[in-house]
A and B are shown apart, each in its own frame.
Chain A
Amino acid sequence: MKKAVLILMFAVLLLAGPASPPGRAAPWSGVDETVIEKFAERAGRTAREPFVNTDQGDLLLFVFLVAGIVGGFIGGYNFRALFPPRRRNENKT
């Protein structure tokens, strides 16, 4: 447990370096915006609106939440089938 917490803290420290440079339009943008779309725009191609555009207000947060719940349920269900909880007697022996 202590080891896991230390690893987690190390990972957070590794990630928590200097903040993003000031003046940047949208800090914490994904590399799809900062790299992919930037180069595509230079080449004269701009991203089109998705066919099913959920990126409207809080709708995207809702869809992400639902995706997390469904994905988490499927993952958890199969996890339990593969790694059933240990019985108490098993732990003692």
Chain B
Amino acid sequence: MMHRRNKSASNYSAAAVAATAGILIAQPAPAFAMHISEGLLPAPWALLWFAVAIPFVALGLRELQRRSEQFPYFKPLVGLVGAAVFLISCMPIPIPIAGTCSHPCGTGLAAILIGPGLTVVVASIALTLQALFLAHGGLTTLGANIVAMGVAGAYVGYGAYWVTRRLGLPWVMAAFLAGLLSDWATYVMTSVSLAAALHGGGSFSAMFSLILIAFIPTQLPLGILEGILCVGALKFVRSRKPELLKMAAAGGAA
């Protein structure tokens, strides 16, 4: 009986590994997603987005110092979440219904665990490393990318989790919505920054809608995937070390 169960589990595993390998092999080269590439934004807009991003980063850094003194495990938590955000936002996922690739952001989960302020800081570090060494995003567009992935993703994800929990709904739904909406918010914000800078003589709203609609085939399924990822990760933390969530509750949403 036990032998049969093991065999069945190994068959499942082999099928899953083969299917995943098939998807990965079909991906010929690194491909990226929401990051606005170097030089796409005119200088005044690039500077404006830096000006918007800097206060959020400064607030996050101040929070890191304050909370590290309060909780001994806070720095390892920030380190783990930072590495996760960096890796997740480097990971292009092929979406066959759209024929394109895009990446999740991980900022919804990060905002639940370490709070939105610190999520902006870890997203900024991830985006800077990607712009410097991975030809992913750009230094001139860093401000806009921080506002999209860091600020919009983190605060919307945090807000979704907080509101859902305050309404008395289950944590699973709250975590799913945090992941889903943080992902979508990132792409809405990217559409705003592009449309604002590039609409020229045309209408801002028309260009914004066009860009947003173009994102939908890729981001709709990816947002759902990010919601599921957020639920899975939070379930793990709740079962293995729930005290981390109590620590997070001091500045996060958990």
> Which of B36, B37, B103 is the most central at the interface, judged by chain A CB atoms within 10 Å of its CB?
B37
Proximity bits, B103-141, A CB within 8 Å = 1, else 0: 100000000000000000000000001011111001100
A83 to B93: give the CA distance in the assembly, Å.
Answer: 28
What is the CB-to-nearest-CB distance from B240 to chain A, in angstroms, rounded to a whole number? 5
What is the CB-to-nearest-CB distance from B125 to chain A, in angstroms, rounded to a whole number? 11
* A82 and B80 contacting across the interface, CB-CB below 8 Å: yes
B172 at the interface (CB under 8 A from A): no
Proximity bits, B23-40, A CB within 8 Å = 1, else 0: 100111111111111111
* A82 and B244 contacting across the interface, CB-CB below 8 Å: yes
B93: chain A residues at CB < 8 Å are 15
Extra pairs beyond A28-B27, A50-B135 (19, CB < 8 Å): A9-B12, A9-B15, A15-B95, A16-B19, A30-B101, A31-B218, A32-B36, A36-B37, A37-B40, A39-B210, A40-B198, A50-B37, A51-B139, A52-B132, A67-B129, A74-B79, A74-B80, A75-B87, A82-B244
A24 at the interface (CB under 8 A from B): yes
* CB proximity to B under 8 Å, residues A1-32: 1-2, 5-9, 11-21, 24, 27-32
Kindly identify which residue among B16, B97, B139, B207 contacts A9, using a CB–CB cutoff of 8 Å: B16
* A31 and B34 contacting across the interface, CB-CB below 8 Å: yes
What is the CB-to-nearest-CB distance from A70 to chain B, in angstroms, rounded to a whole number? 9
User: What residues of chain A have their CB less than 8 Å away from a CB belonging to chain B?
Assistant: 1-2, 5-9, 11-21, 24, 27-40, 43-55, 60-61, 63-64, 67-68, 71-72, 74-75, 77-79, 81-83
* CB proximity to A under 8 Å, residues B62-121: 73, 76-77, 79-80, 82-84, 86-87, 90, 92-103
User: What residues of chain B have their CB less than 8 Å away from a CB belonging to chain A?
Assistant: 8-9, 12-13, 15-16, 19-20, 22-23, 26-42, 73, 76-77, 79-80, 82-84, 86-87, 90, 92-103, 129, 131-135, 138-139, 190, 194, 198-200, 207, 210-211, 214-215, 218-219, 221, 225, 228, 240-241, 244
* B37 and A37 contacting across the interface, CB-CB below 8 Å: yes
A75 to B83: give the CA distance in the assembly, Å.
Answer: 5
Given A15-B95, A27-B99, A39-B207, check contact A68 B87 (CB 8 Å).
yes
Chain A, Cβ-Cβ closest to B199: A43
A13 to B38: give the CA distance in the assembly, Å.
Answer: 35
* B12 and A5 contacting across the interface, CB-CB below 8 Å: yes
Chain A, Cβ-Cβ closest to B92: A30
A45: chain B residues at CB < 8 Å are 39-42, 198
B97: chain A residues at CB < 8 Å are 17-18
Kindly identify which residue among B12, B34, B83, B135 contacts A6, using a CB–CB cutoff of 8 Å: B12
What is the CB-to-nearest-CB distance from B152 to chain A, in angstroms, rounded to a whole number? 16
* A19 and B96 contacting across the interface, CB-CB below 8 Å: yes
B95: chain A residues at CB < 8 Å are 15
A31 to B79: give the CA distance in the assembly, Å.
Answer: 29
Kindly identify which residue among B42, B76, B133, B214 contacts A78, using a CB–CB cutoff of 8 Å: B76
A2 to B212: give the CA distance in the assembly, Å.
Answer: 38
What is the CB-to-nearest-CB distance from A45 to chain B, in angstroms, rounded to a whole number? 5
Kindly identify which residue among B9, B20, B83, B139 contacts A8, using a CB–CB cutoff of 8 Å: B20
* B13 and A5 contacting across the interface, CB-CB below 8 Å: yes
A38 to B211: give the CA distance in the assembly, Å.
Answer: 10
